[in-house]
Amino acid sequence: MSQQVIYRITTGMRVVDSTGAEVGTVDLVQRGDPNAVTVQAPAPVDPGSSLNELIESAAVEEPDVPADLAARLLRTGYLKVSTELARTGAVYVLADQITAVTDDGVRLDVPAAHLPEEE
């Protein structure tokens, strides 16, 4: 079910939690990859690298959460939701936490407080 639902979600859709409270809007939709095992750590940066290479190596990989949770998000699929409820400005939603997708937006089966924040 969760994989079918995630295909109907687009960026900019409104997200509402299980209590009916507005969480925010979809910023990123990532479909699940059952073969995803772990998130690769960035390669060490050569001290002789150019500034552009240093900037690229510091770029944040999605999802920006602890490795064990990141692996689970990558396997199941997830949404990154822009929200004012998190100090970092974004939370992640596992595909299996989505109960419905309508013209009105995305409804979750958990309260916003249970969603992991971006680090």
Q: Is residue 26 part of a domain?
A: yes
Q: Name the CA dihedral angle for 46, 51, 54, 55, rounded to a multiple of 10 degrees.
A: -170
pLDDT of residue 1: 46
Task: Report if residue 119 sits inside a domain.
Answer: no
Domain that holds residue 32: 2-114
- pLDDT value of position 39: 47
Predicted pLDDT at 74: 94
Tell me: the pLDDT tens digits for 51-98? Answer: 665 555 555 588 999 999 999 999 999 999 999 999 999 999 999 999
Which pTM value belongs to this model? 0.79
Residue 44 pLDDT greater than 60, yes or no: no
Give percent helix, percent strand, percent coil of the chain, each to the nearest 5.
25, 30, 45
Stated as kind and residue range, the H or E segment containing 93 is strand 90-94
Domain count for the chain, please give it.
1
CATH number at residue 58: 2.30.30.240
Q: Is residue 23 part of a domain?
A: yes
